[in-house]
Each structure stands twice: as structure tokens, then as C-alpha cells.
Amino acid sequence: MNALREKFPALPNVARYLTSRPVRRGFLWDSFDAGIAAALIGDPDMARDHFKRVLREDALAPWIVDAQEKTREVHTIAADHDAVTAWVTRAVDSCRSELDLDPVVLAIS
């Protein structure tokens, strides 16, 4: 864990890494994660570019349809940092709750 914290000390480092990865068709979570990171650092144009890649994937399974619905939600608010931060916070809280984990305070800036 410490090695990752050293490699990615702040959100812009994470965003730079995620948005620089090559696009791989069929790996929609790569583009989704890159879009979220770009939106969180205040680059809505880059975020929307990555979200559009997710939306271009063929909806071959229910989980892809769900992923694309989430993508549409965040694509719409990509330029509103506070709204994106709130969306991410709710998503993390929901996942942690489903896993029966304690809530955490996110360090999103």
C-alpha cells in the first residue's frame, strides 16, 4: 500500500496515470475510471471524452447497461466539481455499505 501512496501521492497523479493508459476496447472500466478522475481534477472535457468511450461499448450484458447508466449520470455533471464529488462520495458510501465496511471520509480536492 505504501508503494502505491508513493507512486500516487495526490489525485492529479492518479488522474494523469489513468488518463494516459492506452484505450482498450472492451475494458470500459478503464475509461470510466479515467473519466471520473479527470472530472475530479477539474478537466470536464477529458472526462467526457473518456465517458463517451464507455457509452460506445456494446451493451451485451446487464452490467454494461448499468455501467452506461452511471456513465450518463456523471457525464451530465462532469463540469460541476461539487456534483461529481458528491456523486463519487455516494457511490463509495454505497459500495462500502454493501460490503459491510465502515464509512470513510474521502480526500477529494
Q: What is the residue-averaged pLDDT of the chain?
A: 92
Pull the grid cell for residue 57: 461499448
Mean pLDDT of 55-73: 95
Mean pLDDT of 67-93: 95
Which of helix, strand or coil describes residue 90?
Answer: helix
